[in-house]
Amino acid sequence: MGWTSLVGQAAGHPAAFAIVILYAIVWLIFDRTHFDFNAVATLGVWSMTLLIQRANRRDTLALHAKLDELLRVDTQARSELTRLDEEEPEEIETHRDAEVRKAQREKDQAPTSSSHRKAREK
Protein backbone atom coordinates (compact mmCIF):
# COMPACT_ATOMS: atom_id res chain seq x y z
CA MET A 1 0.00 0.00 0.00
CA GLY A 2 1.40 3.40 -0.97
CA TRP A 3 2.02 6.29 1.35
CA THR A 4 -0.86 8.31 -0.12
CA SER A 5 -3.30 5.53 0.74
CA LEU A 6 -1.89 5.36 4.26
CA VAL A 7 -2.25 9.13 4.69
CA GLY A 8 -5.83 8.92 3.43
CA GLN A 9 -6.63 6.17 5.92
CA ALA A 10 -4.98 8.11 8.74
CA ALA A 11 -7.00 11.23 7.89
CA GLY A 12 -10.18 9.20 8.36
CA HIS A 13 -9.13 7.92 11.78
CA PRO A 14 -10.54 9.59 14.93
CA ALA A 15 -6.99 10.23 16.17
CA ALA A 16 -6.60 12.78 13.36
CA PHE A 17 -9.02 15.05 15.22
CA ALA A 18 -6.89 14.74 18.35
CA ILE A 19 -3.86 15.84 16.32
CA VAL A 20 -5.70 18.97 15.13
CA ILE A 21 -6.74 19.79 18.71
CA LEU A 22 -3.21 19.19 19.97
CA TYR A 23 -1.87 21.43 17.18
CA ALA A 24 -4.31 24.19 18.24
CA ILE A 25 -3.23 23.90 21.88
CA VAL A 26 0.46 24.08 20.97
CA TRP A 27 -0.28 27.06 18.72
CA LEU A 28 -2.07 28.83 21.58
CA ILE A 29 0.75 28.13 24.03
CA PHE A 30 3.67 29.18 21.84
CA ASP A 31 2.21 31.84 19.53
CA ARG A 32 -0.93 33.29 21.08
CA THR A 33 -0.48 36.61 19.28
CA HIS A 34 -0.94 34.98 15.86
CA PHE A 35 -3.85 32.81 16.92
CA ASP A 36 -6.53 35.01 15.39
CA PHE A 37 -9.59 34.56 13.20
CA ASN A 38 -7.47 33.18 10.36
CA ALA A 39 -6.03 30.53 12.67
CA VAL A 40 -9.51 29.52 13.82
CA ALA A 41 -10.68 29.40 10.20
CA THR A 42 -7.69 27.22 9.27
CA LEU A 43 -8.42 24.80 12.10
CA GLY A 44 -12.08 24.78 11.09
CA VAL A 45 -11.16 23.89 7.50
CA TRP A 46 -8.87 21.10 8.70
CA SER A 47 -11.60 19.72 10.95
CA MET A 48 -14.20 19.79 8.19
CA THR A 49 -11.75 18.11 5.82
CA LEU A 50 -11.22 15.35 8.37
CA LEU A 51 -14.99 14.97 8.87
CA ILE A 52 -15.54 14.64 5.12
CA GLN A 53 -12.64 12.19 4.81
CA ARG A 54 -14.02 10.11 7.67
CA ALA A 55 -17.52 10.02 6.14
CA ASN A 56 -16.12 9.04 2.74
CA ARG A 57 -13.98 6.34 4.30
CA ARG A 58 -16.95 4.94 6.24
CA ASP A 59 -19.09 4.86 3.10
CA THR A 60 -16.30 3.24 1.09
CA LEU A 61 -15.67 0.57 3.71
CA ALA A 62 -19.39 -0.21 3.94
CA LEU A 63 -19.64 -0.47 0.16
CA HIS A 64 -16.62 -2.76 0.03
CA ALA A 65 -18.07 -4.99 2.74
CA LYS A 66 -21.31 -5.31 0.78
CA LEU A 67 -19.51 -6.02 -2.48
CA ASP A 68 -17.21 -8.55 -0.79
CA GLU A 69 -20.30 -10.37 0.50
CA LEU A 70 -21.83 -10.44 -2.97
CA LEU A 71 -18.60 -11.72 -4.48
CA ARG A 72 -18.35 -14.35 -1.74
CA VAL A 73 -21.81 -15.80 -2.35
CA ASP A 74 -21.69 -15.69 -6.17
CA THR A 75 -20.15 -18.92 -7.40
CA GLN A 76 -19.03 -17.38 -10.69
CA ALA A 77 -17.28 -14.39 -9.10
CA ARG A 78 -13.51 -14.24 -9.12
CA SER A 79 -12.16 -14.27 -5.56
CA GLU A 80 -9.24 -11.94 -6.40
CA LEU A 81 -11.71 -9.07 -6.79
CA THR A 82 -12.28 -9.01 -3.03
CA ARG A 83 -8.64 -7.87 -2.60
CA LEU A 84 -8.75 -5.19 -5.31
CA ASP A 85 -9.40 -2.39 -2.82
CA GLU A 86 -5.92 -2.97 -1.35
CA GLU A 87 -4.26 -1.87 -4.62
CA GLU A 88 -3.18 1.63 -5.56
CA PRO A 89 -5.78 3.74 -7.43
CA GLU A 90 -3.77 3.58 -10.67
CA GLU A 91 -3.71 -0.23 -10.52
CA ILE A 92 -7.45 -0.35 -9.89
CA GLU A 93 -8.03 1.97 -12.85
CA THR A 94 -5.85 -0.25 -15.06
CA HIS A 95 -7.81 -3.32 -13.93
CA ARG A 96 -11.13 -1.58 -14.56
CA ASP A 97 -10.06 -0.43 -18.04
CA ALA A 98 -9.03 -3.98 -18.90
CA GLU A 99 -12.41 -5.29 -17.71
CA VAL A 100 -14.26 -2.69 -19.78
CA ARG A 101 -12.26 -3.65 -22.88
CA LYS A 102 -12.93 -7.34 -22.19
CA ALA A 103 -16.67 -6.69 -21.83
CA GLN A 104 -16.67 -4.69 -25.07
CA ARG A 105 -14.90 -7.53 -26.93
CA GLU A 106 -17.42 -10.05 -25.57
CA LYS A 107 -20.27 -7.78 -26.61
CA ASP A 108 -18.80 -7.38 -30.10
CA GLN A 109 -18.38 -11.15 -30.46
CA ALA A 110 -21.89 -11.99 -29.21
CA PRO A 111 -24.43 -12.73 -31.94
CA THR A 112 -26.85 -9.92 -32.62
CA SER A 113 -30.45 -10.47 -31.63
CA SER A 114 -31.71 -10.55 -35.25
CA SER A 115 -29.14 -13.13 -36.36
CA HIS A 116 -29.80 -15.10 -33.18
CA ARG A 117 -33.53 -15.09 -33.96
CA LYS A 118 -32.92 -16.25 -37.54
CA ALA A 119 -30.76 -19.13 -36.29
CA ARG A 120 -33.52 -20.26 -33.92
CA GLU A 121 -36.14 -20.10 -36.67
CA LYS A 122 -34.21 -22.55 -38.88
Q: CB–CB of 114/106 below 8 Å?
A: no
pTM as predicted: 0.61
**CA gap 85, 91 in Å, rounded:** 10
Report pLDDT for 122.
55
Return averaged pLDDT per consecutive 10 residues of the chain, 122 residues in all.
76 86 92 90 92 88 86 81 78 85 86 58 56
The pLDDT score that the predictor gives to residue 1 is 66
Q: What is the pLDDT of residue 48?
A: 93
pLDDT of residue 103: 84
Query: Does residue 25 contact residue 46 with C-beta atoms inside 8 Å?
Result: no
Query: Cα dist. 32→19, 44, 95, 97 in Å?
Result: 18, 17, 51, 52
